[in-house]
Structure 1
Amino acid sequence: MNKRQARLFAIGSTIVATVAFLGLTLDSHRQFGRLTNADKITPQVTLGKDVWHKNNCINCHTLFGEGAYYAPDLTKITKLRGEAYLTAYMKDPSKFYDEQKHRRLMPKQDISDVEIAALIAFLDWVSNVDNQGWPPRPLLVTGATFPGSDVSAPASAGAGKAPGSAPPAARPTTSSDNPIALGERVFRSAAPACTACHSIAPGVNMAGPTLAGLVARTSTLLAGSDYKGKATDVDGYIREAVVSPSAHVVPGAMYSANGQSFMPNTYGKDLTPDQINQLVAYLTSLK
């Protein structure tokens, strides 16, 4: 190739690349409305975006992988947690952990109920944006869980006692106690702790299946003909799974043998009725 040919090749390649770039840019702009669900941007969503910025949430959290990486990415949070959980958490994060023991530093923002609802609406809009699978994996935070915690009496269900012994007396609850927050503590500190076998991260199966998407899977199961238990709704199924795990065994699953679930069947007597109610409230918040 002589100099003239090389020059023509360079010019031609530049023109082709420029045309391709402009074409892809125009095509992207053509699809932005559909990919971002622009028609779903309501005044409440806009208010939620303003709440997000006003409280500098991005200083700790990330959206679409962009942010401070100090706290979890919230791009798909409303796909994983229900409105009741998110509302209770934003009202008072300290109900869900002990800052002195677990060093979770989510501050109490003291935002109004209207702002909380708007922020959830904004995060729900974000979760429905077609982000082409980005970020490629959940961004988790070390120390985000605290298995074995004995933060409060309800959270210490069964901790440190011999199997078959009487459950501890539950402390009186107050109007400030949130059943979802208390249920999460039971989830992390019952004996044996649910976190020893179950993850709440999508696709992370341990000794037991992940509980991410539990409500959606349960609804599908109850609507079909394969369910063998006695529950008629999601709450009832989760309660049955906690108290009588072998009432329904998923066919062919690796978590059972000879019709018996590998999950302990002692929670019904080791947890108090209040603790079971709290645990069910927490588990039904896992969408």
Structure 2
Amino acid sequence: MNKRQTRIFALASTGVAVVIFLGLTLDSHRQFPKLTHSENITDSVIRGQNVWHKNNCINCHTILGEGAYYAPDLTKITQHRGTPYLTAFLKDPSQFYDETKHRRLMPKQDIDDQDIADLIAFMDWVSKVDNQGWPPRPILVSGGSIPGTDLSVAQQSGNPAATSKLPPGAAPVSSANDPVALGEALFRTATPACAACHSTAPGVNLAGPTLAGIATRAQETIASPEYKGKAKTAAEFIHESIVEPSAYLHPGAMYSANGASFMPTTYAKDLKPEQIDHLVAYLASFK
């Protein structure tokens, strides 16, 4: 190839690359309204974006892949935490975590109720943007996983080596068709995922209390004078807690406010009755 041919090839290649780049850019802009659901950008969402920037939230948090990594990714936060929880958290983060134990966490922003509502509206809009699966999983706010507790159903197959790594009190799963196995899978894949708020390790409290020993604690709660629900057995109590979270309020300001639990109330509608039964079977195995 001589110099003239080389020059023509370089110019042609550059031209083709530019055309492809422009075509992809135009196609992206064509899809933006659909991917971002721009029709849902209300005045509240716009005000919430202003609150996000005014308080420099991006200095610690990440959304849609942009921001810092000091604090949890918030791209899907409204799908992992409900509005009541987020509202109470933004009003006073310190009531949710002991800073003497967990060190410096979320600072109190001192923003008013309207700003909080707008910020949550903005984050809810962000959570519904089609971002091709980002982030791949929720980032735990506190505690984290304990080695040996995040086992798959395949690992919990009755193998002695795998059984020794089960969370304390959990029974080994014998079959992928077993209700306990199906419940374990659902625990991690439901929307919002139970595992995003609850740990199965003793003493590891996240946005919700640990579920280690939940079956034993359920029996104790039912027998206590504070319990006003309808459950008579541990399984019934767990079922009630899933479909009617406010029937019994777990002690602690970080779990409820104004007589209502922060746990989502959508599981009874979004899950099939047999799926709820699978979840109950799984959780009831934690003695």
1:44-97 per-residue CA deviation (whole Å, 9 max, x = no partner) reads 001111111111111111111211211001001111111111111111111211
Counterpart-to-counterpart distance in 2, 1:8 and 1:41: 48
AA matched with 1:3: K
Counterpart-to-counterpart distance in 2, 1:127 and 1:29: 20
Equivalence for 2:39: 39
Equivalence for 1:29: 29
**Are 2:91 and 1:91 equivalent residues in the alignment?**
yes
Counterpart-to-counterpart distance in 1, 2:2 and 2:67: 50
Check conservation: 2:84, 2:262, Cα contact below 8 A. Answer: no
**Are 2:122 and 1:122 equivalent residues in the alignment?**
yes
AA matched with 1:126: V
Q: CA offset at residue 268 of structure 1?
A: 2.1
Match of 1:284 among 259, 264, 280: 264
Q: CA offset at residue 42 of structure 1?
A: 0.5
Equivalence for 2:143: 145
Counterpart-to-counterpart distance in 2, 1:110 and 1:210: 38
1:160-183 per-residue CA deviation (whole Å, 9 max, x = no partner) reads xxxxxxxxxxxxxxxxxxxxxxxx
1:254-265 paired onto structure 2 within 5 Å: 265=215
Q: CA offset at residue 137 of structure 1?
A: 4.5
- Cα distance 1:10–1:217, how it changes in 2: closer, same or farther (>3 A)? closer
Equivalence for 2:76: 76
Counterpart-to-counterpart distance in 1, 2:169 and 2:44: 39
- Cα distance 1:84–1:103, how it changes in 2: closer, same or farther (>3 A)? same
Counterpart-to-counterpart distance in 2, 1:285 and 1:87: 16
**Are 2:219 and 1:269 equivalent residues in the alignment?**
yes
Check conservation: 1:77, 1:123, Cα contact below 8 A. Answer: yes
- Determine helix, strand or coil for the equivalent of 1:265: helix
Check conservation: 1:36, 1:128, Cα contact below 8 A. Answer: yes
- Cα distance 1:102–1:285, how it changes in 2: closer, same or farther (>3 A)? farther
- Cα distance 1:211–1:118, how it changes in 2: closer, same or farther (>3 A)? farther
Check conservation: 2:79, 2:191, Cα contact below 8 A. Answer: no
- Cα distance 1:85–1:33, how it changes in 2: closer, same or farther (>3 A)? same
AA matched with 2:264: T
**For structure 2, which runs of at least 5 residues remain unmatched after alignment?**
146-167, 171-180, 195-210, 228-246, 256-260, 268-287
- Determine helix, strand or coil for the equivalent of 2:71: coil
1:1-287 paired onto structure 2 within 5 Å: 1-140=1-140, 144-145=142-143, 208-209=184-185, 211=187, 214=190, 265-271=215-221, 272=224, 273=226, 276-278=248-250, 281-284=261-264
Equivalence for 1:221: none
Counterpart-to-counterpart distance in 1, 2:248 and 2:127: 31
AA matched with 1:56: N
- Cα distance 1:3–1:215, how it changes in 2: closer, same or farther (>3 A)? closer
Q: TM-score, normalised by structure 1?
A: 0.56
AA matched with 2:6: A
Equivalence for 2:270: none
Q: CA offset at residue 282 of structure 1?
A: 4.3
- Determine helix, strand or coil for the equivalent of 2:250: helix
- Cα distance 1:212–1:74, how it changes in 2: closer, same or farther (>3 A)? farther
The alignment's C-alpha RMSD in Å is 3.6
- Cα distance 1:69–1:84, how it changes in 2: closer, same or farther (>3 A)? same
Q: TM-score, normalised by structure 2?
A: 0.56
Counterpart-to-counterpart distance in 2, 1:61 and 1:285: 27
